Structures are given as C-alpha cells and as structure tokens.
Amino acid sequence: DFVWSERLHGSVEPWWVWVEDNENDKIYHTEYFLLHQKDAKQEHTLQFTVPIFEPVQSQYVIRLSSDRWLHADYFHTLSFDELVLPDKSFAHTQLLKLCPLAKSALQNPEFESIYSFTHFNAIQTQIFHTVYHSDDNVLLGAPTGSGKTNCCELAILRLFRTRPQAKVVYVAPMKALVRERIKDWKARIEGKLGRRVVELTGDSAPDMRAVKEASVIVTTPEKWDGVSRNWQTRPFVTQVGLVIIDEIHLLGEDRGPVLEVIVSRMRYVSTQTTHKVRFMGMSTAIANAKDVADWLGVPLGGCFNF
C-alpha cells in the first residue's frame, strides 16, 4: 500500500511475485508483474500452479517485492491446515495386461456381426464384464480414440439382451457428435440388429410415433431435458432403461446444470415406475473421477479412469 507519485514512480511500477516454502527453503513460482498507474486502484488477479508434496507442508508464503525499491515488500501466509486433497486411490485406473477378449465373448452371433474386428482392445477387455454382465452404473474416462463408443455399445447390447422392450438414450453435447453417432448406429445397430435409431435434436424432430418405436434415441442435453419434463404424458420416457452421457466432463461447464437435471429426473422416473435406469458416463480422463462417480451413483467396481 503506497501513494503513487508520478515524479518518483513514473507510469509503471514493476513487481515480483514469489511463492515460497520456508520450511524446505524452496521457491516454487516467480512472476514479473507490471502495475500501471491507471490501474493502480483496481483489483488484479494472477493465476499460477504450484506443487503439493507429502507430507503436506503447514504453509506456503506468497511474497510481493518491488523491483526498484528496497524494503517494499508484502507477504501473505497461505495455510494448509484445512487443505483436503483428492483420494489418490481414485486418481487413475491401472491398465491391466490382459489377453484381448474375442468378440465371441458376446455369445450372440447377431451382436458379433456389428463389429468388423475380431478382438476387443485392452480397455474394452478390462471393463467388459462390468458393462456387459452387470447392470451397475459405469463411469469411463479414457483418451480420445481408445474405443469408448464400443464400450457404451456393450451396455446397449446388454439392455437389448435382458430388457428387449427398454429404450436407450444417448446424450451428446454437440450436434456434430449426434450426427456422427446417428450415421454409425443407423448402419450397424439399425441395419444389422433391426433396432430403430432416431435423432432428437433442435434440427431434427421426428414424430412421436418414430420415437415411441425407437430402441435408441440420440439427443442433446437441452432437447432431452425438454422432452422428459412431461414424462407423465410421454410413456416412452418411462421405458428408458439406459442413459449414456458422453463428454460428461462438461458437467462443470455451462451445460452442467442441464445434465444434473436430466440425471435427477430420470432417477425420479425410475423410482416412480420401479423400472431401473442404468447410467453410463463417458469422458476423457478426469481428475475428480470419484466425485463424478459418486454423483452418478457408480459403485467402486464401475469407475474406470484410464
């Protein structure tokens, strides 16, 4: 805190920002900062990342020092006494060295026909039993191009096998992704399995008869939110047995509240109709997988974050 003198300070004052660990004599961050006279009374925000080690230190010190003036220093102590770190055991899922599982494990020649490959990849092999042989909710975090779509198809095939009359709702955040899924699943799921696939977006609104007859509904969060609001007068909503949410890491973005409403509403519909609704979330690897899994109702064995 000082009084700006244009004669002494000019129009700009340079400062250094330091983040120090006094216990271990370490400096974890330095940054050169220019304070302009015209902005001197405004609030400034600096963002930076510093490491945390175990055992956790009691505090770090953020120090502000003038580049020109002696004894022009300010420091703030950042206490870690109430710091809560994420559970390390859920940071990521170890990819096991398993033999690739043959698609014949589906034990259904019709299901096998939708795949051109002979064996599932490592990630698909590892989660196969959970997705295809149980009704547990699942969260799958894996890199782009790792075959997550085939993983969610295993959940779809299980629903077709165990509850033939139930419907699948696939929620994608972007219309481009919806169109991509429609093109792919029209050829494989509808063309080879005879299960009708319909698109339900703002650009494409099929008649309700087509939706009622569909086995797979590919939609956007906003559209399904609007459709499912009147679930009491739309029986096809109560027939949903599987909800797949792609790019679920967008839960923290602008569309997050819509996804929360969708999940909450479908859970409510499930309790009112006593028909189980299974949820599957897909994303790239995420830092807070356990938090998302808890929110989605995913048991320990259903959380995969590769």
* Contact residues for 239 (Cβ-Cβ < 8 A; gap 6+): 165, 166, 167, 275
Q: Which domains does the chain have, with CATH numbers?
A: 6-79 (2.60.40.150), 88-305 (3.40.50.300)
> What is the C-alpha to C-alpha distance for residues 135 and 255, in angstroms, rounded to an integer?
27
Strands 167-171 and 240-245: parallel
Query: Which helix (DSSP H) or strand (DSSP E) does residue 243 occupy?
Result: strand 240-245
> What is the C-alpha to C-alpha distance for residues 148 and 152, in angstroms, rounded to an integer?
6
What is the full per-residue pLDDT of the chain (306 aa) written as tens digits? Answer: 678 888 889 999 999 999 999 888 999 999 999 999 999 889 999 999 999 888 888 999 999 999 999 989 999 999 998 888 866 666 689 999 999 999 999 999 999 999 999 999 999 999 999 999 999 999 999 999 999 999 999 999 999 999 999 999 999 999 999 999 999 999 999 999 999 999 998 776 667 888 999 999 999 999 999 999 999 999 999 999 999 999 999 898 888 999 999 999 999 999 999 999 999 999 999 988 989 999 999 999 999 999
pTM over 0.85: no
> What is the C-alpha to C-alpha distance for residues 147 and 133, in angstroms, rounded to an integer?
19
Evaluate whether 275 touches 242 at the Cβ level (below 8 Å).
Answer: no
Structure tokens at 242: 């599987």
> What is the C-alpha to C-alpha distance for residues 66 and 13, in angstroms, rounded to an integer?
8
- CA-wise closest residue to 269 among 296, 235, 297: 235
